[in-house]
């Protein structure tokens, strides 16, 4: 757990999110409040349609709440313009997807470099960041490989390298082991734990897998748009 668990990196205050289909209102999150401490590793579980992906979209600034306030690393996302949100995301956030989202015609190095192309870093500086990120995920010898030349677990580690290459304070992981076999999933979870413990990354991970959730400091159960908070011991007792 983080040393200073009282310092919130992510805070949701009475957040609701509704979608509309024609004139029909579809509530997804309802008056949700939540604090995640700096340096914490949190798993979010819940049935399909409970609002897990919506939560990640809101925290990342990819979507806006219908009501309520979202503050990440001291920034109120609600007052930022779309261009400001884009710049904020590039500085603060890394996102890990279930399906990797790698570009097949680019090498591992080129995929990881993509987030840095919009920064003022020089080509040499970008290369140093990319090599460092790929070494951290254990793929320093696969920089010139294309995704088709990598296993699923290696592809996900390239995606993780891409997520950390800009040294973000917050990592959002959406079912990061959902497409992996048990061995590769274990390796990816070990890497997330390492990023949290050694590099002090705050992580919010959405997962359906109780084994994955047990690697986190805290488990949040989301049902029908609201949270039931539970810790790891409660999850163990329920098994």
| Partners of residue 122 on adjacent β-strands | none
Q: How confident is the prediction for the chain on average, in pLDDT?
A: 90
Position 233 pLDDT exceeds 50: no
Predicted confidence band of residue 91 (pLDDT cuts 50, 70, 90): confident
Instruction: Assess whether pLDDT exceeds 70 at residue 237.
Output: no
Confidence of residue 238 (pLDDT cuts 50, 70, 90): very low
5: tokens are: 């668990």
* Alpha helices (H) along the chain: 52-59, 82-92, 108-113, 123-136, 152-164, 182-199, 210-213, 232-238
Whole-number pLDDT of residue 239? 41
pLDDT attached to residue 6: 58
Give residue 229's pLDDT band: very low, low, confident or very high (50, 70, 90). low
What is the fold of 8-238?
Rossmann fold (3.40.50)
Tens-digit pLDDT profile for residues 37-46: 999 999 999 8
* Domain map (residue ranges) of the chain: 8-238
Q: Say if CB 88 and CB 80 are below 8 A apart.
A: yes
Q: Provide mean pLDDT across the span 66-85.
A: 94
Average the pLDDT over 1-12 and give the result: 72
Report the percentage of the chain scoring pLDDT > 90: 74
Spatial separation of the C-alpha atoms in residues 132 and 93, rounded to whole Å: 18
- Give yes or no for residue 231 having a pLDDT over 50: no
Report pLDDT digits (tens) over 154-207.
Answer: 999 999 999 999 999 999 999 999 989 999 999 999 999 999 999 999 999 999
State the pLDDT confidence band at 68, using cuts at 50, 70 and 90: very high
DSSP symbol at 232? H
């Amino acid at each position: 757990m983080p040393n200073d668990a009282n310092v919130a990196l992510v805070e949701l205050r009475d957040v609701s999110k509704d979608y509309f289909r024609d004139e029909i209102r579809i509530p997804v999150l309802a008056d949700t409040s939540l604090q995640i401490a700096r340096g914490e590793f949190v798993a979010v579980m819940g049935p399909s349609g409970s609002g897990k992906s919506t939560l990640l979209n809101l925290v990342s600034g990819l979507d806006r709440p219908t009501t309520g306030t979202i503050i990440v690393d001291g920034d109120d996302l609600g007052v930022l313009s779309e261009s400001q949100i884009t710049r904020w995301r590039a500085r603060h956030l890394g996102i890990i997807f279930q399906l990797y989202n790698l570009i097949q015609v680019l090498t591992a190095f080129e995929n990881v470099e993509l987030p840095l192309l919009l920064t003022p870093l020089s080509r040499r500086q970008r290369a140093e960041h990319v090599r460092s990120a790929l070494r951290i995920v254990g793929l320093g010898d696969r920089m010139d490989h294309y995704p088709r030349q990598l296993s699923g677990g290696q592809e996900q580690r390239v995606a993780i390298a891409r997520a950390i290459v800009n040294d973000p304070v917050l990592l959002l992981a959406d079912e990061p082991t959902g497409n992996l076999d048990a061995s590769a999933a274990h390796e990816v979870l070990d890497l997330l734990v390492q990023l949290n413990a050694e590099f002090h990354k705050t992580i919010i991970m959405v997962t359906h897998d109780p084994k994955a959730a047990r690697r986190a400091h805290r488990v949040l159960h989301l049902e029908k748009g609201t949270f039931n908070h539970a810790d790891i011991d409660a999850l163990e007792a329920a098994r």
